Amino acid sequence: MAIGVKALPITFVAHAVAIVAAIMVLVWCLGFRGGLAWEDTNKNLIFNGWQKSPRGWVPSGIFPIRGGSSTRSTGDSYKKATKWMTGFNDYVNNGDCAVVADELDSYLDEKVISRMEDFNILSWWKTNANRYPTLARIARDILAIPITTVASESAFNTSGRVLHPVLMLIGLIIIGGEAIMSYKGLNLRKEVKKVIHLVLHAIALILGIIGIYAAFKYHNESAIVNLYSLHSWLGIAVISLYGIQWLYGFVIFFYPGGSTGLRSESLPWHVLFGLFVYILAVANAAIGFLEKLTFLENSGLAKYGSEALLVNFTAVITILYGAFVIFSVASQGPAEDDYSYSAI
């Protein structure tokens, strides 16, 4: 099936492209997304300066956390907290609370307005703002929150899940691609290449499984539903097919190994199915980049900003790498590989 192009130069270009892709995804995750967090401790990036305390998420510095307890200290952070609370203390001491209570009581004593078609709640609060100044301000804040169809993923996903793209790209795509190219790029005996091929695929598979687990973990911790997107469905298909492909390859070509007839019958299917799974993985990674960037742009990321360009170019480089892996399969391996597809 080999076309008359030598595989070696193609694999060199592919290795170079792989290095660029790996650097780009790391720069993105480390430089723009706050690092490779397994435990999503950098959720404070999501909530802009909030920290986890025994009482839940609070603005940074409010509850100094000492040895996991909520004991307040007289340290810097408590002073900061006290400063932050000054406004609240003034408010309580000035007796404004009582005013609000009166305001609320008289609001609750109001006669309920009967339902009418053209009732405008905003203009009601505007008209009555003099009578209920505090409640009107609260109502304005609440009513101004737009009803949105943007998934909570978009609303809060400004950090988090940084591990997923890194593991999927460097693991499944790059190491998986190197496993495929090892048959054409290395001038070694067939048996040795077979072991390299299966070990690299095993590493790719394991990193892929951990990467997908990281995505589920992040979703569950952030109360975001699972498996709602095309990307996630294709992702499950990719990882399942990859696992099946690996197991079948291992059992038929390595241990215990099928009969000679079964091996030579299986090999073209192994190559065809292997290429299909790999192409699907590359396409799904591109969808993943697109999806993540869309979430980020929905939550305010500049469309032509440096991060948006970086993510788009990482996807382009990923596709380029995938293409070179496929070219290597279609091209001619080293001379002693003339018995390629002999399924030894």
- Footprint on this chain of ligand HEM (rule: CB under 6 A): 153, 164-165, 168-169, 172, 180, 183-184, 194, 197-198, 201, 212, 215-216, 219, 226-227, 229, 231-232, 235-236, 238-239, 242, 245-246, 249-250, 253-254, 267, 270-271, 274-275, 277-278, 281, 284-285, 288-289, 291-292, 329, 340-343
d(CA 77, CA 74): 8
Output the CA torsion 157→224→230→217 (10° steps): 90
Please, which residue, 81 or 325, has the CB nearer to ligand HEM? 325
Q: Count CB neighbours of 177 within 10 A.
A: 28
* Helices and strands: H and E segment counts in the chain: 13, 2
Task: Judge residue 188's burial from the number of C-beta atoms within 10 Å of its C-beta, 0-12 exposed, 13-18 middle, 19 or more buried.
Answer: middle
Please, which residue, 69 or 226, has the CB nearer to ligand HEM? 226
DSSP state of 6: B
Minimum CB separation from ligand HEM for residue 249, in Å?
3
Give the type of residue at 106.
Answer: S
Please, which residue, 106 or 148, has the CB nearer to ligand HEM? 148
Minimum CB separation from ligand HEM for residue 84, in Å?
34
Please, which residue, 124 or 254, has the CB nearer to ligand HEM? 254
Please, which residue, 81 or 179, has the CB nearer to ligand HEM? 179
Tokens of 52: 């986890």
The answer to whether the beta carbons of residues 63 and 81 sit under 8 Å apart is: yes
Minimum CB separation from ligand HEM for residue 146, in Å?
22
CA 63 and chain centroid, separation: 30
Minimum CB separation from ligand HEM for residue 52, in Å?
22
Please, which residue, 125 or 216, has the CB nearer to ligand HEM? 216
Minimum CB separation from ligand HEM for residue 232, in Å?
3
Tokens of 308: 């948006």
Minimum CB separation from ligand HEM for residue 6, in Å?
13
d(CA 215, CA 238): 15
